[in-house]
A and B are shown apart, each in its own frame.
Chain A
Amino acid sequence: MIVMKTLLIRYSPLLLLAAAWEVAPRLGIIDPETLPPLSAVARAWFRLLRDGDLAVNGLSSLQNLAVGLALGIVIGVVLGISMAWYRPVEVLINPLVRVLYPLPRSALIPVMILWFGLGAASKIAAVFLGCLLPVVIGAYNGARGVEQVLVWSALAAGAKRRQVLWDVVLPAAMPEILAGIRNALALSFILLIAAELLISQHGMGYLISSFGEGGAYDAMFAGVFTVSAVGFLADRAYLLLMGWALRWRG
């Protein structure tokens, strides 16, 4: 009961918003053409689900997102730790990271389309590039902050220098790496949808833009709602995973 009550209080602003969304277009306060009532959006959502539009386009989007994000994480961690551990890598890469960091990632989408075409490759490249820097910076800061004595302990126990990277530096940097990945996860949704909105034949961004252009606003809102919900759930799930992975922090 208490749990129900706290949930109710926490999400009551959402409920109010949902009620307003339903009522305002019906009373004509807002033009129902530009904002269809929530019930119409819900009907459209079930229609999209039944017809398989959500499954096909959702899976296509998730696939590109997962590939781009995974590439960004793996390459980002390797680059970030190498920068912290090998001076020449730092000298080479660090200025690039600093210069590129403030660049709005979505500005790169047209470039990616120019280089990798209209298909999945350009979407993956956009997600990858967007995710790379937060992960690099997290891994770099985390690896630089590793306590000297932890490295010494491993060396005294007989670890080789390269083993120390895997045994000590990577796990010690993990809190900052995981925080970087959380930023990357949020960015990956933004970049993927932006790229799909711009030009594509599949994906949630494509679905949203084609309904928008065709005037099917209830279906368009259903698509927007789906992307937001999946993004929110992905972040929640990630936080749970992160809490488990860092349970040693006490």
Chain B
Amino acid sequence: MRIAASGLLVIGAFAAAVTLGAQAPATHPDFSGSYERFGNIFGQPTAAQLADKTIPPRNPPAPLLPGPMKEYQDRLAAIREADRKGTPLASGYVNCLGDGMPSMMNAMFPIEFLVTKNQVTVIEEAFTQVRRILIDRPMKKVEDVEPGFFGYSVGHWEGDTLVAETVGIKEEIRYQNVPHTKDLRIKERIHLVAPNILWNEITMEDPAVLEKPWTVTIAYRRMPDYTLLEYICEDNREYRDANGVQQIRVNK
């Protein structure tokens, strides 16, 4: 009886495996190609924007804890005041630094995804930014990753969705000026919602700064005939002065 029961278990497990195998797609979608940011909503969304299900809803503000919220709001106020006075505070762009993660996924300029078996490579045209998502590789501990602009990313496929996780982002590399700690963890779910529209649902987790995970969704539209251009900071006339203000070198 015990043998018969064991046999049934084996058969059951085999059947389950076969069923799972049938459900899981044999191959994941290859969404390789060039894309541009799509579906931005500035101001009030129009009726057409609301009706278009390929346009993600407006992203929520960062759910910051009180202390970091004050630092963030003070920073925004300082930026606005400096702009009002015509003495803008220098951002990393002034020194021709790339966005880093996850800002590069905002695709200020066109972005390219290269889906290969062991790696998904993402290239953002502005500043020629490149990041690599290693497929089916173990995640590292935060302390084992040297902090950088793009961090260390691993990913796996859940059906048609590329699920990626990133750690190791320098604290000064901020998304929309929102502060974070070295423990920032970025989770992405990247999937097609239409044949030529890709969504990236980006969730930032950082319990010391955020009261709950913060998810923003970025949409991209395929650019079928576009090849990313080179972008080299060949003559950067902007610079950051001693007061952190953006200046420009003028040829007189």
State yes or no: do A and B come from one complex.
Answer: no
